[in-house]
Amino acid sequence: MCKAAALTRQIRFGASVKVLHLASPFDVAEQSAVTDHLLGGRFVFGFGSGFPSPWFARSRGLDYDERYERTAEALELILACWTRSEPFDWDGRFYRGKDVVVLPKPLQQPHPPLATATFTPETLRLAGERGYTLLTAGFPATIRAAADAYAAAALAAGRERPLEQVTASAFVYVADSVAQAIADMREAVEYELGFQRARGLLRLLAQALGDDVDPDSLRFEDLVDAGWYVVGDPDTVHARLERLYEESGGFGTLLLGVGKSWATRAKREESLRRFVAEVAPRLAPLVPDRAVDEAAASIPG
């Protein structure tokens, strides 16, 4: 982000996400504040509990089952580091500090905007109540369930048009056809699918697709058909993204999954140019204005 800051003037940058329960809140607060200054106030602080695997916590000697509690306390401590002007003590369940002073304070006051990627009821409620941006990914039913819970909490807190604060991410690649896109991407995608099987992501995708889906048998074409990869000619990409929007109940921002080693650099750049010129203008009129059924979206817990 800091390197990109020197090459850009308007685009905002956000961490998606900083896994709070694995890091020192004091260091995260300081690093984020420095980044906000280097970006000239264009930083968005994204946080979450990370990929649902115990390995990351246990390899650091941390209790995986306490990750949500650690994340919640870390968030409050980071906010304190950013907003308290005088040295303070912190005596929490997981973190402790004496005469805490974290400098610099963020350039954006009282702090950068926050965003979270979560499907945890407590965090959805907190994000909705406080107006944090909700980062989502996956299939429409999953996105809609999270968005409804988030929006219900936001509306209860008096926040208007909460669905505009919901984002959905998608892997998008524009080519002359679906077949051409698959051919361009196959080598890189199949390489990634290999280690995602070991990591457990394909197991989660298979569960979302149905109880009888074998994660070891999932192919690239299966994930294209399911909408995990949105690829093809501009008309096909537009239709699939509009379907994602409608079936998920609408969202305010589409996040493009890029930075992958698909095809060649020239083809990736061409895909982005074609998306901006031939797809994005057709998505612009979409406004998430559906009514949220607050009773149906009540948050458990």
Dump pLDDT digits (tens) for 248-301. 999 999 999 888 899 999 999 999 999 999 999 999 999 998 888 665 555 544
Which of 87, 81, 15 lies closest to 50 in space, CA to CA? 15
Q: Which runs of E-coded beta strand occur in 137-292?
A: 166-174, 229-232, 253-257
All domains of the chain in start order, with CATH: 169-301 (3.20.20.30)
To which H or E segment does residue 118 belong? none
Q: Are 241 and 283 in contact (CB under 8 A)?
A: yes
User: How many angstroms separate the CA atoms of 42 and 204, rounded?
Assistant: 33
Q: Are 277 and 174 in contact (CB under 8 A)?
A: no
pLDDT in tens, 96-145: 999 999 999 999 999 999 999 998 999 999 999 999 999 998 889 999 99
Which of 241, 252, 249, 244 lies closest to 282 in space, CA to CA? 241
User: In this prediction, what percent of the chain has a pLDDT beyond 70?
Assistant: 97
Q: Are 138 and 191 in contact (CB under 8 A)?
A: no
Q: Say what angle helices 121-130 and 140-156 make with each other, to 10 degrees.
A: 50
pLDDT in tens, 38-84: 999 999 999 999 877 888 899 999 999 999 999 999 999 999 999 99
Q: Which amino acid is at 49?
A: S
pLDDT in tens, 188-202: 999 888 888 777 777
Neighbours of 94 (CB within 10 A): 16
Q: Are 236 and 173 in contact (CB under 8 A)?
A: no
Give the single-character DSSP code of 285: T
Q: What is the pTM of this model?
A: 0.90
List beta partners, residue 88. 100
Contacts of 285 (CB under 8 A, 6+ apart): none
Contacts of 279 (CB under 8 A, 6+ apart): 172, 174, 234, 237, 238, 241
| 144: three-class secondary structure by DSSP | helix
% helix / strand / coil in the chain, to the nearest 5? 50, 15, 35
